[in-house]
């Protein structure tokens, strides 16, 4: 059967590093608290003049080069982000123009930190049905521009970045299964209230700090641990596989305690769980593709391997997939 597979990967990581020590000077926190509660040591953050499309452009070009494809061959561009350059037009359209992807359809997809895996599933449907042949899927976010730098419970968590994948048709392996879900009842445990049609930008919304991330960390934490296990089991079932068949498990990089709890429930040993959170923090939609790029570069993903990607995020949402590489 016709399947979709990843034939190229690329990333953009901003050069500027913000360490836990730097944060100690900005809010009442400590390297010790951040390290033990989250696992994060440092994160990369953009300069003021960098937008999401700038990062997407670099990551996309690298992914195209890595797959040996020219941009004019792309049929579809999906950018998963909660921090587009602007509410509209879509960041994907800005990229379509910059890349010169003349024949590509383009749109953004918003599913919080699950966005990249959601976007992979959408592109996969188009490819499996034969509607499209070549897709670019990107996860990119600049959460540091919607972070309240006076809120120590959130500002220590986030970093910026972009990761891109080229998807093409294959007749062996590829994306074997997806598991997507949502629980809108948890929406208010992670959200940005201002700037939409409910509460349009005004002096009042700015004064009330509505253009910043609001989060109930412990609510998200409980949800995340449960759903990472459940979604991984469900997606493996759909693929006719078990946790012990997995060569590498790539979870959303939000908190090492969440990752460790999920891995323990799935009885996965440390060597099968990819973690790069200490260097990047939570990069939202970019977290899974950044991890995928790094795992590939480190030689941890080889032909025939079974890879599980699993994410959770604002919505609340979750998404996982099994890839036979």
Where do contacts with ligand ACO occur on this chain (CB under 6 A)?
29, 33-34, 37-38, 112-113, 152-153, 156, 190, 215, 217-218, 220-221, 224, 254-255, 282, 284, 313-314
Give the whole-angstrom CA distance, residue 38 versus residue 253: 10
Residue nearest to ligand ACO (CB): 217
Active site residue 252: yes
Active site residue 113: yes
Q: Given the complex with ligand ACO, which of 224 and 268 has the nearer CB atom?
A: 224
Q: How far is the CB of 254 from ligand ACO (least distance, A)?
A: 3
Contact present, 152 and 46 (Cβ < 8 Å): no
- Say which of 20, 66, 252, 255 is annotated catalytic: 252
Q: How far is the CB of 109 from ligand ACO (least distance, A)?
A: 14
Q: Given the complex with ligand ACO, which of 168 and 284 has the nearer CB atom?
A: 284
Contact present, 164 and 59 (Cβ < 8 Å): yes
Q: How far is the CB of 13 from ligand ACO (least distance, A)?
A: 17
Give the tokens for residue 224. Answer: 């995340």
Q: Given the complex with ligand ACO, which of 187 and 217 has the nearer CB atom?
A: 217
Active site residue 155: no
Q: How far is the CB of 169 from ligand ACO (least distance, A)?
A: 31
- Say which of 113, 134, 155, 255 is annotated catalytic: 113
Q: Given the complex with ligand ACO, which of 64 and 215 has the nearer CB atom?
A: 215
Q: Given the complex with ligand ACO, which of 165 and 190 has the nearer CB atom?
A: 190
Q: How far is the CB of 246 from ligand ACO (least distance, A)?
A: 22
Catalytic (active-site) positions: 113, 252, 282
């Amino acid at each position: 059967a016709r399947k979709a597979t990843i034939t190229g990967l690329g990333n953009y990581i901003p050069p500027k590093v913000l360490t836990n020590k730097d944060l100690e000077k900005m809010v009442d926190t400590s390297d010790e608290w951040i390290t033990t509660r989250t696992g994060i040591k440092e994160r990369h953050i953009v300069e003021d003049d960098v937008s999401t499309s700038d990062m997407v452009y670099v990551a996309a070009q690298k992914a195209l080069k890595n797959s040996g494809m020219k941009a004019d061959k792309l049929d579809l561009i999906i950018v998963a982000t909660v921090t587009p350059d602007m509410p509209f037009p879509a960041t994907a359209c800005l990229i379509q123009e910059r890349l010169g992807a003349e024949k590509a359809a383009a749109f953004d997809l918003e599913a919080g930190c699950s966005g990249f895996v959601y976007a992979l599933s959408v592109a996969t449907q188009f490819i499996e049905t034969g509607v499209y042949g070549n897709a670019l899927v990107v996860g990119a976010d600049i959460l540091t521009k919607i972070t309240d730098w006076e809120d120590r419970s959130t500002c220590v968590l986030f970093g910026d970045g972009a990761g891109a994948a080229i998807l093409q048709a294959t007749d062996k392996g590829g994306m074997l299964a997806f598991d997507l879900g949502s629980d809108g009842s948890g929406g208010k445990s992670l959200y940005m209230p201002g700037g939409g049609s409910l509460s349009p930008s005004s002096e009042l919304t700015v004064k009330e700090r509505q253009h910043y991330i609001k989060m109930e960390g412990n609510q998200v934490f409980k949800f995340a641990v449960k759903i990472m296990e459940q979604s991984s089991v469900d997606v493996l079932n759909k693929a006719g596989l078990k946790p012990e068949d997995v060569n590498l498990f790539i979870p959303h990089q939000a908190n090492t305690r969440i990752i460790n709890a999920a891995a323990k429930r799935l009885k996965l040993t440390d060597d099968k769980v990819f973690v790069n959170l200490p260097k990047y923090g939570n990069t939202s939609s970019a977290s899974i593709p950044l991890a995928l790029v790094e795992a590939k570069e480190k030689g941890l993903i080889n032909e025939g391997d079974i890879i599980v990607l699993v994410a959770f995020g604002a919505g609340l949402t979750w998404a996982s997939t099994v890839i036979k590489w």
